[in-house]
Copies of this chain bind each other. A is one copy, B any other.
Amino acid sequence: MADILHRVGVKTTAPDKVYEALTTIDGLAGWWTDDTKGDPAPGGVVAFRFPVGGFDMEVQETRPQARVSWRVVAGPDEWIGTTIDFDLHQQGDYTIVLFKHGGWREPVEFMYHCSTKWAIFLMSLKSLVETGEGAPAPRDVQISDWH
């Protein structure tokens, strides 16, 4: 098993802002992909669609200002059954996001790509909360021939 890990600090003294961006359709659409639909409450499923493909996430847990957990229920084979956790805590002027996309069966080349792309999208989340403007798909920063 292999995991993708990231840490960003979002400069804000309002610890609910990052949590909102992870638990509302508008928030999620503001940093990951414009085309976001579904029910972001625990037990609900959120469908994220990109110019090519997408993912359905079952919401496992939402704890205000502390944790958001998803399980991938549809999408590329490599993603099915993996888990995505956002652990949040406030540290001075920053909301710290510890991100884990866990349970990859093999460290395939697609995992390398997704790791870099997650970093880019977490920077988009940071930008959304700090400036009001994220860079969700299809306006996301391109990292390679795989976009």
Contact = CB atoms under 8 A, between A and B. Distances in A.
Interface of A: 2-9, 91-94, 96, 98-100, 107, 109, 111-113, 115-116, 119-120, 122-123, 126, 141, 143-146
11 contacts: A4-B5, A5-B111, A7-B113, A9-B143, A94-B144, A96-B145, A115-B115, A115-B119, A119-B119, A119-B120, A123-B141
A49 B127 CA distance: 28
**Chain A interface SS verdict (over half):** mixed
- What is the copy number of this chain in the assembly? 2
Contact of A8 (B8, B93, B107, B144): B144
Which of A5, A98, A122 gathers most chain B CB within 10 Å?
A5
